[in-house]
Structure 1
């Protein structure tokens, strides 16, 4: 076979639109959103997006960044489309982040507005909201006497900054265009087979690329989205039954909890489309979901924020190949590339490289890191242009199916969240209890990975953990802390992470 097989989606032509036009994809009387305020049909969705866009346009100019630090309120769900309609750039902030992390994103993005709630606004300290950024609460923002109509113009224009942790340092903003988000929505709606009449339970954070796509792909299909902020898995179980949910996406730790949860007779019978993203799904878990929901398809997905989704495993292959991440999704060209830049053959490991119109526009105001991740596509690429070089090693089999081998960087993936070791280490040192610290991931059945923190310092565990509790979200807390008198160093005097990981069983 050819080293780079033609995609099964070659007949699906990319025809990007402005992102806010997703509000026009459903029939006017069909329900688009079901939340605590009730049901909103597609005509109402279009009107509410226009009203919110008009409010934003009154306070910001074209290209300004609009940050939001909100749970899944109605305004939070509409902001991506409203910012797009007003010619602004959406910057959703994970509601689990603490004020110092919010302050970093506001400063880094040079946000013009921060939209939040009164209780969250009170958590911000002097200097957290930079000069030139106005903090607003969301109340009354969905009413405006002159709603903006659907937008027209450049689909390559910037539409969103999604902040994601890198292998070093604080979170960085991935730049995504209208075309990136539109085509991502069309692709997922297409390969999952979402239809009008479906109901998607949106449980993932809207600051997460897959979480935002839950809404966008649902509306692209003319279906209904049901946003949910949950505390425990049983909240999800009850919501599935109450709303007769048909489509559900989750990260592996959530699926593990749902597989262990008690489902009343018939509670999950409406589910017909299940999907997993944000980390490796253990084979026993995939098989358990197939047993628990035999009427539902199970789609395993792989992706990275820099290029949205890259691959998906056909549900028909889930039983025979549960360890596979599948093949390229619509609008994606996926290549397996050796270190010398040539294509790897079947059974040969190589770096996963993604080309095509889902590739983002780089990292916000960071040309150095952009140049490392976004590089020219290898010779022989069908799309050419700029590709995302993932840093992840995969192997393709003789059927064209890909298997994930490992990550080349040092990122830790906890419950689907990418965690920067450096951010954990900086927090440990800032506590005053640590002089030096090294964080790395260790395998965890429930979380995917857990954080192990090696620390040289005072040994004041209570002080260290209190600082983490105050400053970082729960998924960034170390599961275990090991105090040592010395940490290995390399010949340059730097901490030898590889030696530390080997010594302590990472």
Structure 2
């Protein structure tokens, strides 16, 4: 089916009503669930949750791998009038303890192995525990079934915690409308249909990870959830299930681009989508060569507004560095410090307005006021906007290019330097497979540039190639003062390169 960009939001659990009743909706280790079965399972799980003594508005946290219970929770919590708090299964007990306490969760659903890692005080006294191995089947097979809800689309339905890259994790408050319109909008511009099969490899606690489920169901398609250990696991699953849609973040795409892809695993793919950071130009070229028949979507987003822009795949060969234009239902402006709209070619802050804007940070008025502010006067939507802190440039054709985050910009010898530009130069040299540039204190320069890199070949050769490339392609003030080679670079729970961990390492190594 073609998904039309209908701007009228509905309760989130109504996504279970869209697909043909006998069409596949979820294929997991428990078997195949059609869309009729999806609706039944959502109704049973919603009744089971309320049977645990939860009341509308209560928060329920799930700390689970990508099995059936985890996949159904976003819709079941919505149907029961609860607020879902998905927790990344890669997080450790201290991080989970913070999320449980901060959200005020009344119930934690977790596997026995993860639950056993929680120590005294990690789980609040008023937060009950449900161990999936002991009670999950009964929860899913509850005898009662709740019918589709009549929830207010503006009601709170989920709290997604950020990875905490800039401090303690913040709980982003999302409404039914935020998630419904995000699902419909993505399904529309990706061109998803009922015959599409999405391999869900991103964490379901991640905004786009959850959207893997929601946008596929909005199109009446089928989701194949996968917890993978290696890139080879992803390649095999694509071939085994005839996957048509694959989403990733740049570090995963780098691994997939380095993997061997048999012809039968390449053939079914219709679209590749990227979020969570910009793909380098060499990576774009590599993916286009590997998957010439697949449409490659480069996208930009932030949890506070879900998704802001995407690039039409027809333009990616000519504009591989672009993040495109605003997605359906989004309004994106490039704004000067005085609040006026920047001219073409002039850097400015990306500001996102419209119905995809979240409701703020859970119980954090101070940080909400910093990020969620009145929209610029030029906004057609008005109201509250998300001021991203990201610097972008719009060209004469209306395409946007990401420059960098204000809080990551390096200030050296009076110059403001985008770490992204240095990182992309390192990768373009062919010497580095991945790179992270940081500013470290320097008495003479203010900040010197420190580059962490994973070599693409032999480290000794890589060092010489990189140095030569920088000397010929970057001005002196953008030359790294030091390059530190690592066989692996740290990643956070969402699979992104962990700048916070590298900053901590840099502090130690530059003392």
1:104 aligned to 2:98? Answer: yes
Instruction: Indicate the residue corresponding to 1:71 in structure 2.
Output: 65
Aligned to 2:483: none
> How far 1:121 moved relative to its partner?
1.1
* Partner deviation per Cα, 1:430-483 (whole Å, 9 max, x = no partner): xxxxxxxx9x99564699xxxxxxxxxxxxxxxxxxxx99x9999659468457
- Whether 2:25 is the aligned partner of 1:27: answer no
Q: Name which of 92, 117, 131 aligns with 1:137.
A: 131
Query: Partner of 2:487 in structure 1?
Result: none
The answer for unaligned runs of 5 or more in structure 1 is 1-10, 422-437, 448-467, 488-506
Mapped partners of 2:104, 2:71: distance in 1: 22
CA offset at residue 12 of structure 1? 3.9
Counterpart Cα distance in 2 of 1:445 and 1:222: 41
Q: Name the structure 1 match of 2:292.
A: 294
Match of 1:48 in 2: 41
Residue 115 of structure 2 is matched in structure 1 by 121
Distance 1:234 1:472 in 2: 19
- Give the match for residue 18 of structure 1: 11
Q: Deviations 1:238-284 (Å, cap 9, x if unpaired)?
A: 00000000000000111111111111232210000111000110111
Q: How does 1:253-272 map to 2 (within 5 A)?
A: 253-272=251-270
Determine helix, strand or coil for the equivalent of 1:304: coil
Structure 2 residue aligned with 1:90: 84
In the TM superposition, what whole-angstrom CA distance separates every residue of 1:25-60 from its partner, at most 9, and x where no partner exists?
100000000001111000110011111101111221
Distance in 2 of aligned mates of 1:21 and 1:128: 35
Cα RMSD, aligned residues only:
2.7
1:247, 1:271 within 8 Å by CA — same for their partners in 2? yes
Task: Report the count of equivalent residues.
Answer: 434
Shift of 1:301: 0.3
Contact 1:324/1:403, CA 8 A, preserved across alignment: yes
Checking the alignment, whether the CA contact within 8 Å between 2:11 and 2:153 is kept in structure 1 is yes
Distance 1:474 1:277 in 2: 10
Give secondary structure in 2 for the equivalent of 1:270.
coil
1:146 corresponding residue in structure 2: 144
Shift of 1:169: 2.6
Pair 1:473–1:292, CA change in 2 (3 A): closer
* CA shift in 2, pair 1:291/1:99, >3 Å: same
| TM-superposed deviation, 1:98 | 0.3
Decide whether aligned partners of structure 1 residues 229 and 294 sit closer, same or farther in structure 2, where only a CA change above 3 A counts: same
Counterpart for residue 355 of structure 1? 353
Q: 1:34 to 1:473 in 2, by over 3 A?
A: closer
Mean Cα displacement is larger for which, 339-348 or 159-168? 159-168
- Distance, in Å, in 1 between the alignment partners of 2:454 and 2:211 is 27
Aligned match for 2:278, one of 277, 280, 300: 280
Superposition pairs of residues 147-296 of structure 1, within 5 angstroms: 147-166=145-164, 168-296=166-294
Q: Does the residue aligned with 2:263 lie in a helix, a strand or coil?
A: coil
Gaps of 5+ in 2: 410-418, 424-435, 439-446, 457-489
